[in-house]
Structure 1
Amino acid sequence: MNREYSVDAKRSLLRDTWLMKDTGMVPFMIELGPFHAAFKEYIEDDQAELDWNIEYHRDREAFLDFAMPNIKPNLGIGIIAEAFGCEATNNREADPWIKPRFREENREEIKALEIPDAKTNPAFVRAYERIEYLQSRSDLPLRLVNVPSPLVSASLIWEYTSFIEATMLFPEEVHLLMEKVTEATIAFVQEQLRRIENLYTMGHEMWYIPRETGIRISDDTAALMSPNLYREFGVKYNSMISRAFGGIVVHSCGDVQNVVVPMMETERLKGLDFTIPQNPNWEVIRDSAAGKVPLCLRHFYWDHGDKAQVDLAAYTKKILDYFGRQGVMIQTSTPDAESAVPLSRQLMELCL
């Protein structure tokens, strides 16, 4: 069934969708199974991660969507925080747990915090070792290693609750940390781009994002910010990243109704990526962004709740009826490939 769309045809369709062109098709993607984080057994074993990726895409051959085989060199969303000296604990429940270095009480120490060297920092070197291992043993293209937004990384380096409070109480110190984190993030991604021989996408998730579109970042801390705080600490530093890579796609889980308007002010914004069941106010997203920038709208089966019985095709139709089709991409999932096959057929008819 995958023969109906070649890799080149999928890339062309997605490239045009990122450009807001009328393609006659809404691209959709069906991921499989529960969340695959940087669990201990994978983060400590490059071969295990490679084997998982190969098996995953072998299972995906049973159905059609608009993703393509690739490898995610997953090391967790805390990699920038690790590079700044935060202790990471590998575990079997989630990405490595990050122990913050700063709180309100020792915020003055941020002045002496050194920006990690993009070539020699041990956390980054580990990432390059994984990249080299994977690309030397597979012909599949690679995504980037996890790209957290400056806000996400800073809220790991500075204890989360204290950090949110500090954006209001100690903005000078927060800006200083954000500046250092942003510089480190840009340098780390640039070094990855020098090392990855066959790049799949400008991000760490599975949507194909051409290099000329810009970079995708995960900005989950955004959902906790007020509009003005997000302008000051989110938009400013995301725009710096956008300038470095010629554009930016901003992802945020959670309820973004308070920040979607300032998000649209990000320089060279090329798209927004939201977990739509977590957003009760679709109107503000539609009125602010639909038809203006591409929208990646996610609803994995587990985004609806552990016990929810949701018709994923019907929910997709609800999304398209509300947000329209121009520049819209649908990202969903099923527990396994067997259940993805009929969903793929439904979505192919729905998205034409």
Structure 2
Amino acid sequence: MNTSERYRERNIQSENRIREAFQFKNQEAPYIIYDVNYWLFGALSEEIPDGYCSEDPSIMTNYQAQKIETHMREYHDVYIPFLMPWFGTGVLASGFGIDVKFLDKMDPAVDLPTIRDVQQIRDLKKPNPLKDGLMPRVLNTIRYMRENTDFPVGVTDCQGPLTTALQIVGYDKMIYWMHDHPEMIHDLMQLVTDSLIEWIGVQKEVAGQSLDDDAYVLGVKIPGSLGGVWISDDDSVIFGKDLYREFVVPYNSQILEAFGGGVIHFCGCANQHIENFLSTRGLIAIHNLNLDHLDEAARLRHALAEKKLVYMVGDFNLEDNRIDHYYQQLFQKMGSQGLIVISYIAPALSLQEGQYVDARRDPGIGKRIERSIQKFNNSK
């Protein structure tokens, strides 16, 4: 697939527009209508190929490549094509021995942890990316994607130290042990952090990437030289600020700094951590699916803007009768400078008052959202 020349100029322009937002020089917010989801959540069952997450990487590669080609014909946003070796959110945890369940035409799901006693943490060893869990399958998929296409290849889903630790020991035990055995939890967080840094580095080497470039945070490319990593921190929303400051911020900082800076993603509202985010070393942006809570999102957005940190705001497609109202409110509350807007197109669901509900969206939903963004997008 020869895409380099076909999309080269467009990709350069898109990256420049994203870079302008990082420099707070943009007059309009760059946006992406993200209908090339590599995950399966929100996809119509009949459109998901059999064996998508199997050991045959051609199925995943062809599925994603076809969606990219369709997107590049339909939209003129700042999306920059890439391929993603997607095997759910538990790849690193699988390296620690956590089982991952593969369900028919659904995203892989992490099984229950097996650790029962805090002393078992001492038995945990750093995973070997070439041998343990799903890590070899990810590397094989990256190799296949590089050999059979000329799309850049991102690292697999990058759960941060907090979520990975929770997958290993469980939510209830983790929170109790933070209070009762803080030194053991710090040891666990450091082990996971060191393992994640090594795992990301191995993937980047196989993918032919530099350490401080080629990061794609849920579909948004971080401009070259600004940062080379993103981590998902969805569990931040359930933690108080003190525990998060002690047990998460230092380890997130290590990962972001190891790759020249990066982005933290989470869904929902984590405004209790605004100061924690601002004190995270290496942070260049927050990527947030705000779940329809624009007032809370705007508070975070403006706190970040004061420090010249970018806010990437997104959600899955809204119900039809609220599209204009949503984007009008979004830009009124947030402005445009230092803002990147993403609408994730999921034909099997709809966002309604903060909840995702089953739906069957017509194919024109993405174009209607794009027109709405263009209508209200400005720098005021």
* TM-score scaled by length of structure 1: 0.88
> Alpha-carbon deviation of 1:261?
2.4
Q: CA deviation at 1:117?
A: 2.4
CA shift, 1:337, in A, is: 4.8
Aligned residues: percent identity? 22
Q: Deviations over 1:278-310 (max 9, x none)?
A: 546345414422343100001211xx5xxx445
Contact map agreement 1:100 1:159 (CA 8 A) in 2: yes
> Which has the higher relative contact order, 1 or 2, with Cα contacts under 8 A spaced 6 or more apart?
1
Secondary structure of the 2:235 match is helix
Matched, 1:224 2:250: no
Number of residue pairs matched by the alignment: 343
Unaligned stretches of 5+ residues in structure 2: 1-5, 42-47, 348-361
**Which residue does 2:316 correspond to in 1?**
300
CA distance, structure 1, for counterparts of residue 258 and residue 15 of structure 2: 23
Comparing 94-103 with 187-196, which one deviates more in the overlay?
A: 94-103
Q: Structure 1 unaligned runs (5+)?
A: none
How far did residue 122 of structure 1 move?
Answer: 4.7
- Shift in Å at residue 340 of structure 1? 1.9
Aligned match for 2:373, one of 336, 347, 350: 347
Q: 1:147 to 1:333 in 2, by over 3 A?
A: closer
Deviation at residue 249 of structure 1 after TM alignment: 0.8
Partner of 2:344: 333
Q: 1:82 Cα shift?
A: 0.3
Q: What residue is the counterpart of 2:329 in the other structure?
A: 318
Q: 1:97 to 1:345 in 2, by over 3 A?
A: closer
5 Å-filtered alignment, 1:87-236, equals 87-92=99-104, 94-103=106-115, 105-197=116-208, 201-203=214-216, 205-214=218-227, 215-236=229-250
Q: Distance in 1 between matches of 2:93 and 2:299?
A: 33
Q: How far apart in 1 are the matches of 2:92 and 2:28?
A: 37
2:303 aligned residue: 288
Q: Measure, in 2, the Cα distance between the counterparts of 1:252 and 1:114.
A: 28
**One-letter amino acid matched to 2:35:** L
Over the residues paired in the alignment, what is the CA RMSD in angstroms? 2.6
Counterpart of 1:257 (choices 271, 289, 297) is 271
Aligned mates of 1:74, 1:276 — CA distance in 2: 23
Alignment partners' CA distance in 1, 2:109 and 2:366:
32
| CA deviation vs aligned residue, 1:230-264 (integer Å, no higher than 9, x gap) | 11122111001012111121111122122222111
1:41 and 2:51 equivalent? yes
CA–CA separation in structure 1 for the residues paired with 2:219 and 2:40: 14
Say which SS state the counterpart of residue 315 (structure 1) adopts: helix
In structure 2, what is the Cα distance between the partners aligned to 1:99 and 1:339? 35
Displacement after TM superposition at 1:319 (Å): 1.5
Tell me, in whole angstroms, the C-alpha distance in 1 between the residues paired with 2:200 and 2:301.
31
* 1:202 shift after superposition: 1.0
Return the offset for 1:27: 0.6
What amino acid maps onto 2:266 in structure 1? S
CA contact (8 A) 1:76 1:95 kept: yes
